[in-house]
Chain A
Amino acid sequence: MCHQSVGLIARVVEAAGIPTLCMTSAYDITQAVNPPRAVFVDYPLGHQTGKPDDLDNQRAIIGDALNAFETISKPGTIVRLPYVWDPNDRRWEETDYMPGFRLPRPKKDAADLAEQERRRRYRVANPG
């Protein structure tokens, strides 16, 4: 859903005269919504600009994306990056978003509590 939303925004912003580039890890969704420029990285959702705390990996992906931003000349192009999430473990490709795949969905009460806790934490850290 994120990929659709980002693609929709890119099209509106581009039509208003500002060039855009979208990252994507959901090739089919991005292809369908058809933003002006996109860069595909074949990673599990939630890592469109790289692995946690892996600076080299993040910099490589974003650097490639910036290069693509400057070089894509055909509207609707999706550049595919060569990075592989884990060459020794490709199970995520078989299980992500398949039946049985569970996203964290807290109940409203739990969400409200977490929200209160977050606000309290920052109020304490930043009094006034």
Chain B
Amino acid sequence: MPIAYIPRTRELYSAYAPYRWVVNEEPPPWTPLRKLLAQCKVALMSSGGVLYRDQPRFHREDASYRLIPRNANRADLSIWHFGYPTKDAEQDPNCVFPLERMREFEAEGRIGELCDPAFTFMGGVYSARKVREELAPKIVEELRRRRVEALYLVPA
């Protein structure tokens, strides 16, 4: 059985007013994938708080994002996030930001092209409005400008 995180976090943070999680009952928007991924330009985006070299860290309720060069090495990456246990991701960022694996899948032809750069943010933003109205439209612009055809999203 999957862990039920909504009741668990309500209990864990019972000193605070209960968080109102977003519940979307209407069907999600839908854009068919018209080609195989082997013919698509694919972008990687992670909410795991990944930073490249000396990029500024994330702050509380921070809806900004970072551009990570697609050829970044593991030594170029660090993690800045307080919403999940980050020890393993600090050791191997591919746990939440699988840049190395996506480069391999590109080299093997499983995906057509991996977008440069990849995108990261710190997903622990309580304001759904901020994510929806400030962050997401900027990501749409980034993806359109680079003619990205599929987005692979990894939370942490």
Q: A residues bordering B, Cβ < 8 Å?
A: 1-29, 32-36, 40, 42, 44-53, 55, 58-59, 62-63, 65-66, 69-70, 75-76, 93, 96-99, 101, 103-106, 111, 115, 118-119, 122-123, 125-126
Is B16 on the interface with A (CB-CB < 8 A)? no
**Inter-chain contacts of B48 with A (CB < 8 A):** 2, 46
Taking the complex as formed, is B111 at the interface, i.e. its CB lies under 8 A from any CB of chain A? Answer: yes
27 contacts between A and B (CB under 8 A): A2-B83, A2-B124, A7-B22, A9-B131, A9-B153, A10-B28, A11-B29, A13-B136, A13-B143, A13-B151, A18-B31, A18-B151, A27-B2, A42-B2, A46-B156, A47-B95, A52-B88, A52-B91, A53-B92, A63-B110, A66-B111, A69-B33, A76-B28, A96-B8, A104-B86, A118-B78, A122-B54
Query: Whole-angstrom distance between the alpha carbons of A104 and B101 in the complex?
Result: 27
In the complex, the answer to whether B155 meets A18 with C-beta atoms within 8 Å is no
Q: How many of chain B's residues touch chain A, expressed as a range?
A: 35 or more
Q: In the complex, how many angstroms separate the beta carbon of A51 from the nearest chain B beta carbon?
A: 7
CB within 8 Å of A: which residues of B?
Answer: 2-6, 8-9, 11-12, 21-25, 27-33, 36-37, 45, 47-48, 51, 53-54, 56-57, 78, 82-89, 91-92, 94-98, 101-102, 104-105, 110-111, 121, 123-126, 128, 131-132, 135-137, 139-140, 143-144, 148-156
